[in-house]
Structure 1
Amino acid sequence: MALTKYCLGDLLELTTETNANNEYGARDVRGMTITKEIIPTKADVSNTDLSKFLVVHPGEFVFNPRTHGKKIGFGYNDTDSSFLISWNNIAFRIKGTMRDKVLSEYLFFHFNRAEWDREACYRSWGSSTEVFTWEALCEMELDLPPLSVQQKYVDIYNSMLANQRCYERGLEDLKLTCDAYIENLRRKTPTKKIGAYLTQSDRRNDIGLSVDFVRGLATSKAMIPTKADMDGVSLNNYKVVPPRYIAYVPDTSRRGDKVSLGFNDTDETFLVSSISTVFGTELSVLIPEYLMLFLTRSEFDRYARFNSWGSARETFNFEDMCDVEIPIPDISVQKAIADIFTAYNTRKLINERLKAQIKDLCPILVKGAVEEGEKL
């Protein structure tokens, strides 16, 4: 058997380099997710002292010691550039003396598994906030196959990742094409208020739809399976969203300056909370797919937030929605642009599935590498 058992503390060391000389700025600040991704930070750091932020170089890891339910916020810098992460996170790397024992990419497979999240949360401790410490990480064990076996499975992962990222770049090109069409229309076509072509719907669940048809509305402008606890909740007062109808939450004060909104682009009928506003369009003049092009833009979020009103809670009601102005060209032009947008959304969904499949591949790769190592 060619497997060698290690404590992670034997392989890893903390990195404590800070941005003391302010070499990096606000654009270099990153965050991490419980899906083990590094993302641009969502925090406003324009007025933040970044000198104490940690510098994370290529090939280094970072995690949030505070657990989030059953998952750990974690990231791996697989880029060619260094970035900043908040000082209340923990950054680490493979020891220089152990780089002939483990590849950083292979080690990331180990961390990018549900099994590791479960063990990490089990080793966490605390009362109001549970913490997964550096010491707890160092106590964890893993069986490592030879470096050549690790490299084989890293190559498989990297080839799939390269294909996904190539697909993603094409996706962004399609989005740019769509945006270019919109900007061209805005310059050449007079705008009109959309209220004349909208019809509000207050239909409730008179067809007995079950909880399986309840949907939430996301600030990413998507209609998603509800995350609410629906146990014992009556659905009689929930609003019906037929195919090609749009629904949004009027309250804009507690959603990061974004409107929670979704479009039913399926052939099924869904339900949304009674606090939502549901409407359709006059299809002979304004198709909803074309309207969604404008409602998914950041410009609309800014407009809706600016035009919201209230004291304890600010709202963007249906009358405010009716005052939104957009260029409304001939239906054939709308369909042509909407087709590009539909293709973009379809490819975007495929891309998310590809990313999920790659993530799901990590435990399979670790299992395959370990089994191959056992046979050597």
Structure 2
Amino acid sequence: MGASNVKWVRLGDYIEQCDERNSASINYPVIGINRDKTFMPTVANLDGVDIAKYKIVTKGMFVFSGMQTGRDICIRIGLYDNEQPALVSPAYTTFVINDDKKVLPEYFFMYFNRAESDRYGWFISDSSVRANLDWPRFLDIEFPLPSPDEQQKVVNAWKAFREIKEQNEAKAAPLMQVCQSYIQELKHTYPLQEIGPYIEECNERNLEGKFAEQDVRGIATSKGLIETKANLDGVSLNSYKLVKPKEIAFVPDTSRRGDKMSLGLNDSDKTYIVSSISAVFNVDKENILPNFLYLWFCRSEFDRYARFNSWGSAREAFSFEDMKRCKIPIPPIDVQRAIVNIYKCANEAKQIAEEADRLSREVCSALLQHVINS
């Protein structure tokens, strides 16, 4: 706290616990809290569960769970901002700010939406197996309390990023749905053809060592080329395969990947390298756009097809020869291009939303640090 003029206060003096039960058994949606402090539909099996015991959450209320705080290094807390009420498990604690003229709910949430707060929660959690953060100990946490005007400035900056995120998510979702609907309809409009005649395996290696560690990419089950997480100390990259622009790479081994195939399209203008166990191929662009073929591979149906057609014992594999036998509808190039353009618009909106979400978290920490030091 040092020379800061901002006072630190005990949060228990500014919040009030709520315990409104769903005694009328109203069929509100049941939700839980993610580690990123957002709400999600419950994954619990509610068959035979008496929802009359569940707690009602309304707009402006907080939901808190101190369970496994130390294990996850995360204080699970969320600010509910939907107009429709929801239900949460009786195991959650629900509370409100007792005077929102002194403490803005969004400001309070921002303080806990930081890695620093999560680490502190881990530090003060108990020594049980689950390392819980008990409610009484949570109440004793102190937080910086500037003037309401200063709080509002911080909240406004944070909200600006959140609005960008939400607006672009709202754009991306229907566009993605339209894109997948068009792809689904193609199966009923055009005959299915094996892609073998339209793809060619590539086996160009990094023999001269032109490409270095920063050019290495991993292949994700989320269908993308990502910065590698592998420890490459002492590893020779000479045998690694080149993935040139518009080429597709995949991992033939389909075991232990959650029934998803690791595959990615190099949609950049750079050449990357991938592990020698990967398969790399290019596409006959006059008949199939690489991005269109990639969209087909992104479907869950393709993942199931690849798993079903994998072979082996301890390790199952889907080889390039198996890939060649995959059948898809091949519409005219202009139809393919239209679908790809819809996807690109959706993906651009999605990426903007993800970047805004990341920045909102960074800004959250930076703004609060400014408040603390002011």
Q: TM-score range by the shorter chain?
A: 0.7 to 0.9
Task: Say whether the 8 Å CA contact 1:65–1:133 is kept in structure 2.
Answer: no
For residue 189 of structure 1, report the CA deviation from its aligned partner: 1.1
- Equivalent runs, 1:159-174 vs 2, <5 Å: 159-174=160-175
Distance verdict in 2 for CA 1:348–1:197, change over 3 Å: same
Distance verdict in 2 for CA 1:104–1:56, change over 3 Å: farther
Q: State the distance in 2 between where 1:312 and 1:17 align.
A: 53
Structure 2 residue corresponding to 1:270, chosen from 266, 269, 272: 272
Q: State the distance in 2 between where 1:47 and 1:148 align.
A: 44
**Corresponding residue number in structure 2 for 1:7:** 10
**Corresponding residue number in structure 1 for 2:111:** 110
Distance verdict in 2 for CA 1:148–1:56, change over 3 Å: farther
For residue 259 of structure 1, report the CA deviation from its aligned partner: 1.9
**Corresponding residue number in structure 1 for 2:151:** 150
**Corresponding residue number in structure 1 for 2:205:** 204
**Corresponding residue number in structure 2 for 1:123:** 124
Distance verdict in 2 for CA 1:257–1:150, change over 3 Å: same
Distance verdict in 2 for CA 1:31–1:115, change over 3 Å: closer
For residue 151 of structure 1, report the CA deviation from its aligned partner: 3.7
- Equivalent runs, 1:1-376 vs 2, <5 Å: 3-12=6-15, 28-33=30-35, 35-40=36-41, 45-46=44-45, 55=55, 57=57, 58=59, 59-63=61-65, 65-67=68-70, 75-83=78-86, 91-94=93-96, 97-124=98-125, 132-208=133-209, 209-367=211-369
Distance verdict in 2 for CA 1:200–1:86, change over 3 Å: farther
Distance verdict in 2 for CA 1:280–1:69, change over 3 Å: farther
Amino acid at match of 2:288: L
Structure 2: 5+ residue runs without aligned partners? none
1:86-105 deviations in whole A, cap 9, x for unaligned?
787x544235x454532321
Task: Say whether the 8 Å CA contact 2:75–2:117 is kept in structure 1.
Answer: no
Moved more, 290-299 or 362-371: 362-371
For residue 124 of structure 1, report the CA deviation from its aligned partner: 4.4
Distance verdict in 2 for CA 1:362–1:133, change over 3 Å: same
Q: State the distance in 1 between where 2:367 and 2:232 align.
A: 37
Q: State the distance in 2 between where 1:233 and 1:340 align.
A: 41
Task: Say whether the 8 Å CA contact 2:55–2:89 is kept in structure 1.
Answer: no
* CA RMSD, Structure 1 to Structure 2 (Å): 3.5
Q: Report the 3-state secondary structure (helix = DSSP H, G, I; strand = E; otherwise coil) of the residue aligned with 1:188.
A: coil
Q: Report the 3-state secondary structure (helix = DSSP H, G, I; strand = E; otherwise coil) of the residue aligned with 2:187.
A: helix
Q: Report the 3-state secondary structure (helix = DSSP H, G, I; strand = E; otherwise coil) of the residue aligned with 2:233.
A: coil
Q: Report the 3-state secondary structure (helix = DSSP H, G, I; strand = E; otherwise coil) of the residue aligned with 1:234.
A: coil
Task: Say whether the 8 Å CA contact 1:22–1:50 is kept in structure 2.
Answer: no
For residue 194 of structure 1, report the CA deviation from its aligned partner: 1.2
Amino acid at match of 2:82: T
Distance verdict in 2 for CA 1:134–1:347, change over 3 Å: same
For residue 192 of structure 1, report the CA deviation from its aligned partner: 0.7
1:276-318 deviations in whole A, cap 9, x for unaligned?
3222212222221110111112222232233334444433332
Moved more, 13-22 or 290-299: 13-22
For residue 137 of structure 1, report the CA deviation from its aligned partner: 3.2
Distance verdict in 2 for CA 1:314–1:16, change over 3 Å: farther
Q: State the distance in 2 between where 1:323 and 1:277 align.
A: 15
Amino acid at match of 1:366: L
Q: State the distance in 1 between where 2:15 and 2:255 align.
A: 44
Amino acid at match of 2:248: I
Distance verdict in 2 for CA 1:260–1:298, change over 3 Å: same
Moved more, 360-369 or 45-54: 45-54
Q: State the distance in 2 between where 1:200 and 1:267 align.
A: 20
1:170-210 deviations in whole A, cap 9, x for unaligned?
22232233234323322211111112212223333324222
Q: State the distance in 1 between where 2:20 and 2:203 align.
A: 57
Q: Report the 3-state secondary structure (helix = DSSP H, G, I; strand = E; otherwise coil) of the residue aligned with 2:197.
A: helix
Distance verdict in 2 for CA 1:309–1:82, change over 3 Å: farther
1:69-93 deviations in whole A, cap 9, x for unaligned?
76555543332345566787x5442
Q: State the distance in 2 between where 1:68 and 1:254 align.
A: 25
1:314-353 deviations in whole A, cap 9, x for unaligned?
3333233222211112233322322332333233222211
For residue 130 of structure 1, report the CA deviation from its aligned partner: 5.4
Q: State the distance in 2 between where 1:343 and 1:275 align.
A: 33
Q: State the distance in 2 between where 1:367 and 1:198 align.
A: 54
Moved more, 108-117 or 58-67: 58-67
Task: Say whether the 8 Å CA contact 2:171–2:346 is kept in structure 1.
Answer: no
Distance verdict in 2 for CA 1:215–1:70, change over 3 Å: farther
Task: Say whether the 8 Å CA contact 2:55–2:90 is kept in structure 1.
Answer: no
Distance verdict in 2 for CA 1:229–1:337, change over 3 Å: same
